[in-house]
Amino acid sequence: MNAPPLYALQYDAIVRGALAEDLGRAGDVTSDAIVPAESLAVARVICRAGGRVAGLEAALHAFRVLAHDADIRVQAADGSDVGPGARLAEVRGPTRALLSAERTALNLLGRLCGIATATRDIVRRLEGLRAHVACTRKTTPGLRALEKYAVRVGGGASHRFGLDDAILIKDNHRAIAGGVTEAIARARAHAGHLVKIECEVDSLDELDEALRAGVDVVLLDNMSLGDLREAVRRAHGRALLEASGGITPETVKAVAETGVDVVSLGWLTHSAPALDVSLEIG
């Protein structure tokens, strides 16, 4: 697994916000009406479909928030691959709390396991090729830290986390600056010595201009496979080349085979299907 464990500080507010959204103004009126207040239960978190586990501690935090004394036993670590029917964790505690936290926990877990599984599968498709798999900033608002963590658990990397950790000159920046060369010059004058500068280009002519300007990374946006191969030939190692734009699991291998260094997919965090997980009490 490429990702160190998350700190509780990174997901506590997310989990509490999701619980507050679900509980609303009156709480879990169904469980309060049907389940005796003193009732205790054992719940098992089950993975119904095979996949890669990610975000389990964040998901289980929902039970801890509503039942501080819950006994939680984790049975599958993040980064592990499990088959259908695998038991991921067992939770013992007040029945009402377990039922009230169920949907928040499963929503987070299914989402993050789905992203990690999709990333794992794409990374496996590219075994033997030089290209690395990266996600983008096309994440669910408020869930970026968790979704990018899931990508890393799946074996991928992050394009950039936010607007503040790298300079990426996009088409609107180029238009405002008056072109590729001027945009890169302005970026270099502003950036600190540790900040990488990447420039998005739409054509081979813009690639040549970015290379002459000495950019660190070039983002090849929505280029054909032929243009990507030609871009690799022209760059000849002078800059890192990242292919991006509309890449899917079906097209990613052909893109990687052109020889680019990085293939970035917004698909990983905006379209990867959730993994089917469930909570069984009894």
Spatial distance between the Cα atoms of 195 and 167, rounded to a whole number of angstroms: 7
Amino acid (one-letter) located at 129:
L
Question: Strand, coil or helix: what is 259?
Answer: coil
Beta bridge partners of 244: 221
Task: Cite the active site residues.
Answer: 103, 138, 170, 200, 221
End-to-end, the C-alpha distance of the chain in Å comes to: 33
Residue of 184, 187, 189, 126 lying closest to 155 (CA atoms): 126
CB-facing half-sphere around the CA of 110: CA atoms within 13 A: 16
Which of 50, 109, 101, 45 has its CA nearest to residue 74? Answer: 45
For 91, the enclosing helix (H) or strand (E) is strand 86-94
280 in Cβ contact with 147 (< 8 Å): no
